[in-house]
Amino acid sequence: MESIDEQSIAVVGTRNCSGYGLEMTTRISGALAAHGVTVVSGLASGIDGAAHRAALDAGGRTLAVVGTGLDRVYPSKHRDLARKITSSGAVLSEYAPGMESLPGNFPRRNRIISGLTLGTLVVEAPHKSGALITVTHALEQNREVFAVPGSALSEKSTGTNWLIQQGAKLVFDVQDILEELNIASTGEQLALSAPTPDTGTVESEVLKILRGEPVHMDEITRQSGQPSAVVSATLTMLELSGLVRQAGSMMYIAVPGQHRDTASDTTEGR
Domain borders along the chain are 3-180, 202-254
For position 61, what pLDDT does the model report? 95
Residue 182: count other Cβ atoms within 10 Å of its Cβ: 7
CATH architecture of 3-180: 3-Layer(aba) Sandwich (3.40)
| Beta-carbon contacts of residue 132 (< 8 Å; ≥ 6 apart) | 122, 125, 159, 163
Domain 202-254 classification at class level: mainly alpha
Q: What is the pTM of this model?
A: 0.72
The answer to whether residues 217 and 244 touch, using CB atoms and an 8 Å cutoff, is no
Residue 127: count other Cβ atoms within 10 Å of its Cβ: 11
| Beta-carbon contacts of residue 157 (< 8 Å; ≥ 6 apart) | 124, 125, 126, 149, 150, 151
Q: What is the pLDDT along the chain (270 residues), one digit of tens a residue?
A: 667 788 999 999 999 999 899 989 998 999 899 899 999 999 999 999 999 999 998 889 999 999 999 999 999 999 999 999 998 899 999 999 999 989 889 989 999 999 999 999 999 999 988 899 999 999 999 999 999 999 999 999 999 999 999 999 999 989 899 999 988 654 434 443 445 555 568 888 898 888 878 899 899 999 988 888 788 878 877 877 778 888 877 888 888 755 444 333 333 343
Rg (CA), the chain: 20
